[in-house]
Amino acid sequence: MGKVVLVTGVASPLGGRFVRRVRREPEVSRVIGVDARPPAHPLDGAEFVRADIRQPAIGKVLAEHAVDTVVHMDVHGAPPSLGGAGRGAVKETNVIGAMQLLGACQKAPSVSRLVIKSTTSVYGSAPRDPAVFDEATPVRDLPSGGFAKDAVEVEGYVRGFARRRPDVAVTVLRFAHILGPAAESPLAAYFSLPVLPTVLGYDPRLQFVHDDDVIEVLRLAAGEPRPGALTAGTFNIAGDGVLLLSQCARRLGRPTAPMLLPAIRWSRSVLRSVGATDFSPEQIRLLTHGRVVRTAHARDVLGFTPRRTTAETLDAFLREQGPGLLPPEGVAGALDRFAALLPGKSGPQACTAAAAGQEEVRQDG
C-alpha cells in the first residue's frame, strides 16, 4: 500500500492543481480531496469528499481512509468581496477549520505528516521592520487583523499540535504573494486594475512566487525527504530577487495614482463597492512598507529552489493578464528620460542601485 494523502480546499484552482499533481506520484496510492463545495475542475482520479473542516466530521474522514499525509490548503487570503463570503465566514474557515483539522489529526494515529500552507504576511509590514526577514526573526509588530492575523493564529495552533504529536513531521510553508493562473490573491487583483493606487511618498519592496513553484514545493513537502534533506520545519518560499512597486507598475504597463492614506482608504470603499478589489488594512501596510524574506533555509534544508524569480513571476503574470493601458517599454523610457533631467541620481543609476539590492537578496536567499 502506498501513501494516502488528504488535501483540503480542493475546490480552489490551486488546490485542484495540487491534487492532480500529487496523484501522479508513484508512492501515492490514494488522494482524498476535501472541501465544503464540489470543485468545478477535474481531480484526475482523486476521491472527493464533501465535508466542512469546521465540523468534527473531518475526524471520521481521516479514520475511514487511514490517511497518513495531510496537506492543508483550505486557507483564504482573498478579500471578502472577491471570495464571495463575509469576513466572519472566512475567518471561521481559516482559524476554526484549522483547529478542527488539527484536533482530528491529533486523534488519528495513522497521520504521520502534516503540511500547512501559510503566508509571509505573518511577519507584518511596519516602518521599523528589518530589511529581510528569516524564519527566526522576531516580529516587532504582529498583524492586527485580516488574513495575516488568521495565519498567525493558525501557526500558533500548529506549534501546539507539534508539541502534542512529536511523531508527526510538521511542515509550515510561508509563501510570498502568489501569482499565476491558479492564484486567488488580493495582490493579483490589485495588479489587474487599470490604474494602481499607491501611497504617496512610498515605494515598497515586494516578492512573488509563481503557482507552479507553489505546487512543486507542496509536493516536495508532502513526500518522503530526499537524501540529505529534511521536510519538517518552517520555510519561507519566494522567488529570488525583489521588485519595487514602481518597477512592477512599469513592467505591467499600469500607471500609478499616488494618494495620501485617507484617499487610499476612500478608494478602498469605492473599489470594494463595485467588486473590483479591496484594500484591506494589511494590504495598505504592505503597499506602504513592503516585505522581503530570506529563502536560504528552504534551499539548504528542504532542498527547494524556485524555478522562477520574482521578476520572472511578474512577467509571466503580465503574459497571462495582457498589457496595461501603457506599453511597459514606453513607460520605462519616459521615466528614465524624466529622471535624467533631475539633480542627483539619474534613472540608470537608480536602476543600478535597485538591481544591486535584488542581487543581494538573491545571494542571501
Q: pLDDT per residue over 245-279, tens digit each?
A: 999 999 999 999 898 877 776 665 655 554 445 56
Strands (E), 57-204: 69-72, 113-119, 169-175, 177-179, 196-199
Q: Which of 281-290, 303-312, 322-331 has the lowest mean pLDDT?
A: 322-331
CB 184 within 8 Å of CB 128: no
Highest mean pLDDT out of 173-182, 239-248, 258-267: 239-248
Domains in the chain: how many in total?
1
The Cα-based distances of 273 to 43, 104, 267, 278, 351 in angstroms read 35, 39, 10, 9, 37
Question: Which of 252, 243, 249, 248 has its CA nearest to residue 292?
Answer: 243
When the pLDDT of each residue in the chain is averaged and rounded to a whole number, the result is 84
**Would you say residue 133 has pLDDT above 50?**
yes
Check residue 328 and give its pLDDT.
58
The Cα-based distances of 25 to 30, 115, 278, 288 in angstroms read 10, 16, 38, 42
Q: How many CA atoms lie within 13 A of 154 on its CB side?
A: 32
Check residue 321 and give its pLDDT.
81
Q: 111: exposed, middle or buried (C-beta count within 10 Å: 0-12, 13-18, 19+)?
A: buried
Q: pLDDT per residue over 98-120, tens digit each?
A: 999 999 999 999 999 999 999 99
**Per-residue pLDDT averaged across 174-190, rounded?**
87
* DSSP calls for 170-181: EEEEEE-EEEST
Q: What is the CATH number of the domain that holds 345?
A: 3.40.50.720
Torsion over CA of 299, 303, 308 and 309, rounded to 10 degrees? 0
**Per-residue pLDDT averaged across 35-61, rounded?**
94
Check residue 229 and give its pLDDT.
66
Q: Which of 44-58, 191-205, 342-356 has the lowest mean pLDDT?
A: 342-356
Instruction: Tell me the pairing of strands 243-244 and 205-206.
Output: antiparallel
Q: Return the bridge partners of 209, or none.
A: 178
Q: pLDDT per residue over 192-233, tens digit each?
A: 888 898 999 999 999 999 999 999 999 999 998 777 667 789
**Per-residue pLDDT averaged across 281-292, rounded?**
90
DSSP code at position 278? -
Structural domain containing residue 285: 3-364
Instruction: Tell me the pairing of strands 28-35 and 47-50.
Output: parallel
Whole-number percent of the chain with pLDDT over 90:
61
**Would you say residue 355 has pLDDT above 90?**
no
Check residue 56 and give its pLDDT.
92
* DSSP calls for 335-348: HHHHHHTSSSS-HH
**Per-residue pLDDT averaged across 177-183, rounded?**
88
**Would you say residue 309 has pLDDT above 70?**
yes
